[in-house]
Structure 1
């Protein structure tokens, strides 16, 4: 039915002039929740930055372990949970804001800033104050940060509702009250889930939760991060300090895989606290995390309006295997196991061997973990740490914020596409790095380049060649850095959104 009548009236009301057309905006309040490493941390007492500000703590130009030692969780921080957050929040370390510059950590690799995601949401809300970032101390338990988020999100929603009610143009008759939209990356999705589980009224006030690369079933990479000292014959300075820090952090242990991931040849097991302790972690923190996984397996909490965006086609560690000569060393494997609906392993009917397959992922979170519980995931070719600045991901976030019809696939629908593989422990000055491209038949028309992520220096184009040491037809190129720095690797096929990953090159240890 038309709105404008033959007499120029609009819905029966006399009207002179052109019919106004308004910009499409959402009335809802938005909260952006980063992943692990994604919040700047500082010493509350001194204001000294501990994380996300001074890259020299990683590149080797700064001596001493200073911030790394300060980031280790003490006994009280290790025991902090939701009740702690409600009664006596911790104050030693403060989350000062979202990550504003590229960062990097061994195993977990690169993480890009969250500024683009915030900017895109600000374009589709009624006013910029409708978008609230939620920085948090990612070192601590998901349950603790979930309680803090529940309180912060409720306060943000109430402030925004008061603001909307005070503006006549926004207070449209018949319009529903604003609700919440959460946009969460990686571990941030687990924090949102904890917040909404703890506060059912907040869940009822939530229209949608967008999770981007969230490891609902955990990530095998977290075990590799705890195992750094065992796995390295001569671990470098950064590796030593990161492992010593990670072993104390509840947040890292909350990323442990809860699915069956330990390859035993003819069987596959779930991790136990004993396994985690042998690999370099804390058995008590592991027991708490693995118990949470068991609870979710028995009673899955469905996020309201859940929209999962999932990275695929990237080489991703999915399962683990103990080294035969040293069971304290665990090695990542790029395949998963088929699990039937009854929970049993899928096996080859002739041999009884468990069926292994490469489920791929976003280089950190494998596909089944990121899509768990989501009714209609959207898939994109992208690296984990760069997903929140990936153009297709940002487009999907805008669509969901504006309540567009849900998309189902941002790739080509096949699950096969370009992948980028970089050294997950970074590199040392003077030593060449091997950069690998997967999923492509030929280097023709493909561009691979490396540039400093901290300066404006132009990138170095690299020559891709078929890698004779790979059986999967991968392409590779070599790059030797001329200075310690954080470098951005960019793969552009000309047909897909470019893939990016960060690689840290450090000075040699003294």
Structure 2
């Protein structure tokens, strides 16, 4: 009996930062040793090596099919927790791979697609289309060779994609470029995918204006991000610039003022325009959306020392079906509301393109280890209908966890905030090392003195520079966690 197994070929597609990168000699450049982020002597070199050169910036789908770039190679999915300023923490993908393996006929039905997330989504989409076709062909041959598997169902195996963040955009590009592959795809599960983009991409390009330490890391990340097509492909395509009496979409000139590359921005924003004009329907699309977390949704342009500063705002504009701003009838002021999100992707961006949505309370980078996300992925893989879930309804009402998006400095208390709780009964907040598992002491939550929304706060002082996992547990919902880096004091 194989009714508790899927016959499909499964592909796990990670998000930005989620693939281990090496140079042509096999020297690791990303995702292996956290010292890359804590020691300037190590970090400045590897972040410099990750800058995209002219050939890499120009790489597109045709390049992938004709002459792929090879200066840097993606060799595996991330298998250790990672972190960057603004983008924040990212958990490994081992749990989702294990979940799909447990739902498949055999382990080799599940493949991973590491990719060079620095490069354009269209380029990586073409590589994924080729890799997914090869994986499906091999798996169909394997199933055809086993009589008991052939008897388990008449239909030939198809493809199932489980994609996180940017990975969902890569899958969309692959299926749009290859209609035959789209026809061979049963379902695409996207987890926290920014279909409309993310305002955090602008904040990453604008890091030179941040005042937080370590300055060397913020500067090097900004310099790297400004060269990367992949980061520019995450720019928001919706109305994200709050001009007071108007809400505007970004232009390439705006992005250049904020620290990005005008040419890369122009290409990304043109892609957004194409998707608005001719939306591509992802086959069997199921979206898993993180909600209730404090999320930057729009930006306000300010100026300091002659430079444009992108200030994040925690509201979005209400728009009509045609994309026009909805305004107050009496004043003409644009309607604004907090749509929340997963801390990186605001809710409308992750919802776009489908009505088959599951909501969970969780943070962007840790969603692929979230108990409810893994349960939903297994249920979809086994073709069970969407079940009652322990998430919300997209309104943002529920528990939230806030940690400093630029990290902290050793020796200084780290402020942590919990939102959306109606009672402290059964709620605990704890911190432990994400690298060693070493546990810290449970923290005491108290009403936050500078908040009027009922938020609770606590402070954590690290006993060593490290990457830490902050976890909020409640009686009603699965735990919510977030990663935060505490840097050495003189970094």
Query: Partner residue of 1:261?
Result: 240
Tell me, what secondary structure is at the counterpart of 1:347? Answer: coil
Number of equivalent positions: 489
Rounded to whole Å, the distance in 1 between the matches of 2:117 and 2:2 is 40
CA offset at residue 501 of structure 1?
Answer: 0.3
Tell me, what secondary structure is at the counterpart of 1:284? Answer: helix
Rounded to whole Å, the distance in 2 between the matches of 1:54 and 1:86 is 32
The correspondence for 2:428, drawn from 426, 437, 447, is 447
The correspondence for 2:372, drawn from 392, 398, 406, is 392
The correspondence for 1:245, drawn from 207, 211, 224, is 224
CA offset at residue 327 of structure 1?
Answer: 5.9
TM (norm. structure 1) is: 0.93
Rounded to whole Å, the distance in 2 between the matches of 1:340 and 1:504 is 40
Aligned-residue CA RMSD in angstroms?
1.5
Query: Partner residue of 1:138?
Result: 117
Rounded to whole Å, the distance in 2 between the matches of 1:281 and 1:409 is 40
The correspondence for 1:183, drawn from 162, 173, 194, is 162
Query: Partner residue of 2:482?
Result: 501
Rounded to whole Å, the distance in 1 between the matches of 2:324 and 2:450 is 35
Rounded to whole Å, the distance in 2 between the matches of 1:506 and 1:62 is 14
TM (norm. structure 2) is: 0.97
Q: Which residues of structure 1 form unaligned runs of 5+?
A: 1-20
Larger Rg: 1
CA offset at residue 63 of structure 1?
Answer: 4.1
Rounded to whole Å, the distance in 1 between the matches of 2:417 and 2:133 is 45
User: Is 1:488 paired with 2:444?
Assistant: no
CA offset at residue 495 of structure 1?
Answer: 1.4
Rounded to whole Å, the distance in 1 between the matches of 2:408 and 2:153 is 59
Query: Partner residue of 1:79?
Result: 58
Residues 335 and 357, structure 1, Cα contact 8 Å, conserved in 2: yes
Tell me, what secondary structure is at the counterpart of 1:457? Answer: coil
Rounded to whole Å, the distance in 1 between the matches of 2:122 and 2:337 is 33
Residues 453 and 487, structure 1, Cα contact 8 Å, conserved in 2: yes
Query: Partner residue of 1:351?
Result: 331
Query: Partner residue of 1:6?
Result: none
Residues 28 and 180, structure 1, Cα contact 8 Å, conserved in 2: yes
Distance 1:233 1:157, change over 3 A: closer
User: Is 1:216 paired with 2:198?
Assistant: no
Distance 1:267 1:245, change over 3 A: same
Distance 1:324 1:356, change over 3 A: farther
After superposition, give the CA deviation of every residue in 1:106-161 in whole Å (9 maximum; x if it has no partner).
00100000000000000111100000000000000000000000000000000000
Query: Partner residue of 1:456?
Result: 437
Tell me, what secondary structure is at the counterpart of 1:344? Answer: coil
Greater shift, 285-294 or 450-459, is seen at 450-459
Distance 1:192 1:286, change over 3 A: same
User: Is 1:129 paired with 2:108?
Assistant: yes
Greater shift, 313-322 or 408-417, is seen at 408-417
Residues 56 and 62, structure 1, Cα contact 8 Å, conserved in 2: no
CA offset at residue 343 of structure 1?
Answer: 2.3
CA offset at residue 508 of structure 1?
Answer: 2.6
CA offset at residue 482 of structure 1?
Answer: 1.6
CA offset at residue 376 of structure 1?
Answer: 1.8
Matches within 5 A, 1:142-153: 142-153=121-132
Greater shift, 23-32 or 156-165, is seen at 23-32
After superposition, give the CA deviation of every residue in 1:348-376 in whole Å (9 maximum; x if it has no partner).
22222111100000000000000101122
Query: Partner residue of 2:400?
Result: 419
Query: Partner residue of 1:361?
Result: 341
Residues 443 and 465, structure 1, Cα contact 8 Å, conserved in 2: no
User: Is 1:470 paired with 2:472?
Assistant: no
CA offset at residue 441 of structure 1?
Answer: 2.9
Residues 213 and 409, structure 2, Cα contact 8 Å, conserved in 1: no
Query: Partner residue of 1:17?
Result: none
After superposition, give the CA deviation of every residue in 1:186-211 in whole Å (9 maximum; x if it has no partner).
00000000000000000000000000
CA offset at residue 408 of structure 1?
Answer: 7.2
CA offset at residue 405 of structure 1?
Answer: 1.1
Distance 1:205 1:22, change over 3 A: closer
Tell me, what secondary structure is at the counterpart of 1:248? Answer: coil
The correspondence for 1:109, drawn from 65, 88, 91, is 88
Tell me, what secondary structure is at the counterpart of 1:503? Answer: strand
CA offset at residue 32 of structure 1?
Answer: 0.3
CA offset at residue 442 of structure 1?
Answer: 3.6
Query: Partner residue of 2:311?
Result: 331
Query: Partner residue of 1:286?
Result: 265
Rounded to whole Å, the distance in 2 between the matches of 1:353 and 1:61 is 47
Query: Partner residue of 1:3?
Result: none
Distance 1:64 1:458, change over 3 A: closer
User: Is 1:271 paired with 2:276?
Assistant: no
Rounded to whole Å, the distance in 1 between the matches of 2:407 and 2:153 is 56
CA offset at residue 468 of structure 1?
Answer: 1.1
Distance 1:154 1:231, change over 3 A: same
Rounded to whole Å, the distance in 1 between the matches of 2:43 and 2:234 is 28
After superposition, give the CA deviation of every residue in 1:314-349 in whole Å (9 maximum; x if it has no partner).
000000001255661011001101001232211122
CA offset at residue 253 of structure 1?
Answer: 0.3
CA offset at residue 173 of structure 1?
Answer: 7.5
User: Is 1:27 paired with 2:7?
Assistant: yes
Distance 1:244 1:61, change over 3 A: closer
Rounded to whole Å, the distance in 1 between the matches of 2:405 and 2:270 is 29
Query: Partner residue of 2:414?
Result: 433
Rounded to whole Å, the distance in 2 between the matches of 1:376 and 1:152 is 27
The correspondence for 2:17, drawn from 33, 37, 51, is 37
Rounded to whole Å, the distance in 2 between the matches of 1:358 and 1:75 is 39
User: Is 1:371 paired with 2:351?
Assistant: yes
